[in-house]
Amino acid sequence: MSAVTHHLARQLVNRWKAVDGSLVPPDVRGFAALHCLDAMGVGIAASSLEQGQPYGRYTEQAAAGPVSTLNGIKGLDASDAALVNGGLIHSLEYDDTHTESIVHGSAVLLPAAMAVAQAVGSSPAAMLAAYIKGYECLIRIGLAGQGGFQRHGFQITSVAGTLVTALMACDLMGAEEDQCVDAMGIALSQSSGVFEFLSNGSSVKSMHPGWSAHAGVVAARLAMAGLHGPQTSFEGQRGLFMAFARDPAAPARLEMQLSDFGTQWHLGDVAFKLVPSCHYLHSFVEAAGELADQIGDAAQIERIHLKIAEGAAPIVCEPWESKQRPETGHAIRWSLPVITAARLVEGKVDLDTFANSPSQPVLDLAARTTWEPLQPNRFPRYFEADVQCVLRDGRVLGVSKDDVLGNASRPVSAEKVLEKFEANAARSLAAVAIKQIIDFWLHIDNHSDFGLLANSLMAPRLTP
């Protein structure tokens, strides 16, 4: 393996500080604001649904503070607000993803950036710049990891997100270089987030980015209070890459990735999610929709055969018998056979699909579904799908997808993202508050503080 030339944490801090946030290209800032708006809408929607209720109860019992919460119950201290908002944004599997690095950036970065900026009085423009630099860091860590975090059972968003949010928090708090390095080292000891939730589709996964955002804020505060952390948080023998990805070559790859930090921007490649489920399943939902248009009545389907990249299979296919009969509606979000069957039988997949356990016709069709690895495939850069339906009259109909809609190869318009935000926010907020939140994010440089946003989030909630 190639050794890094200097400690990566310090390299990252120096490169971060060298990037003038006010000089970030306008199109990158525009992408960032749209992603923040999208994430906020998802969190607002979650606050009105069952998946978001634990965070509502947590908010009620937590101490009040200056930072807005997406459930509108009350403001919280920065670290608690980061936990609540991150949990809400990730509750519905509807938040954005950079597919090649497999990071859910906004769910961890926006809560931390917004919490610290509101707490210390940073401007919205400074908050957005920190969010952008944080996303660029997190993507590069994911690219360097090459899927190793996921293969060993860890969610990269949470285990790497602690280090990035610690640096982002330090930046907004005005920390010195050594304090930033210490904060990332402290954050490493707080990194967590395992995939055991897949055993029963439990809702704890939503906490992963929220806890990471919370930990990053706490790490920054501790570093500025004088606590020290290791300088080798990335490349050390017990550092991020060795402890979670078990990849001794990854630090050198990250060093290479950092070489164009501040000049090459990946944010434009971040995918918006148009289905509230695991991203690996979206292409299958789309392919099943096209087949449904051809078939008409799902009762004509004898069986289904699916092909999916081996890298995605452990999350949505294994164990297959359990995926065919998920324990809860929420667990459908990681079930390839059930979500494909639901699109064919029910004609749609939306937030209501996951509100209850699947219907018997959906389960019956899922039970007649098989899968095999897709070869060749381009995972994780592209989320490909192949769906074949064998009909009772003997005909075989199939649809393949080269990538997921919303990814960089198949981008969606800003209008589509606004439509998604409005639909999500309308579950809880009146039209005037929705319009004010849109105005804040799309004209963020016109706002000197977070007053408009905070007032909009605290507006009276609609009764379900």
Note if the bond before 248 is cis, omega within 30 degrees. Answer: no
In this structure, the strands spanning 369-373 and 385-391 are: unpaired
Residue found under tokens 């051809």? 294
Is the confidence at residue 390, as pLDDT, over 60?
yes
Look at residue 1 and tell me whether its pLDDT is greater than 50.
no
Indicate whether 62 pLDDT > 70.
Answer: yes
Residue 7 is predicted with a pLDDT of 92
d(Cα 319, Cα 140) in Å, to the nearest integer?
31
Tell how strand 369-373 and strand 301-308 pair up.
Answer: parallel
What does the alpha-carbon distance between residue 180 and residue 358 come to, in Å, rounded to a whole number? 48
pLDDT in tens, 313-372: 999 999 999 999 998 999 999 999 999 999 999 999 999 999 999 999 999 999 999 999
Q: Which residues are paired to 388 by β-bridges?
A: 305, 398
Instruction: Please give the pLDDT value at position 200.
Output: 87
d(CA 161, CA 443): 27
| Selection from 111, 70, 46 nearest residue 330 by Cα | 46
The stretch 218-244 carries a mean pLDDT of: 97
Q: Which amino acid is at 289?
A: G
Q: What is the mean pLDDT of residues 418-428?
A: 97
pLDDT band at 99, cuts 50/70/90? very high
pLDDT tens digits along 253-295: 999 999 999 999 999 999 999 999 999 999 999 999 999 999 9
CA 136 – CA 114 distance, rounded (Å)? 17
Q: Using one digit for the tens of pLDDT, what is the confidence trace for 151-174?
A: 999 999 999 999 999 999 999 999
Tokens of 187: 């954050």
The correct CATH number of 279-401 out of 3.40.1440.60, 3.40.50.720, 1.20.1250.20, 3.30.1330.120 is 3.30.1330.120
High-pLDDT (> 90) share of the chain, %: 96
| Least confident interval from 4-13, 22-31, 134-143, 376-385 | 4-13
Q: For the chain, which residues make up each domain, given as ranges?
A: 8-269, 279-401
- CATH C-level class of 8-269: mainly alpha
Residue 45 binned pLDDT confidence (cut-offs 50, 70, 90): very high
Domains 8-269 and 279-401 are alike in CATH topology: no
Please report the pLDDT score of residue 198 as a whole number: 87
- Distance separating alpha carbons of residues 220 and 227, to the nearest angstrom: 10
* CB neighbour class for 347 (10 Å; exposed up to 12, middle 13-18, buried from 19): exposed
Separation of alpha carbons 237 and 343, rounded Å: 46
Residues 294-304, mean pLDDT to the nearest whole number: 97
Percentage of the chain beyond pLDDT 70 is: 99
> Among 343, 349, 342, 388, which residue's Cα sits nearest to residue 363?
342
Report the pLDDT value the prediction gives residue 463, as an integer from 0 to 100: 77
Residue 413 has pLDDT above 60, yes or no: yes
Across all residues in the chain, what is the average pLDDT?
A: 96
Average pLDDT over every residue of 297-319: 96
pLDDT value, residue 51: 95
pLDDT(22) > 50: yes
pLDDT above 60: residue 2: no
Rounded to the nearest 10 degrees, the angle between the axes of helix 26-47 and helix 105-120 is 90
What is the spatial distance between Cα 459 and Cα 147, in angstroms, rounded to a whole number? 41
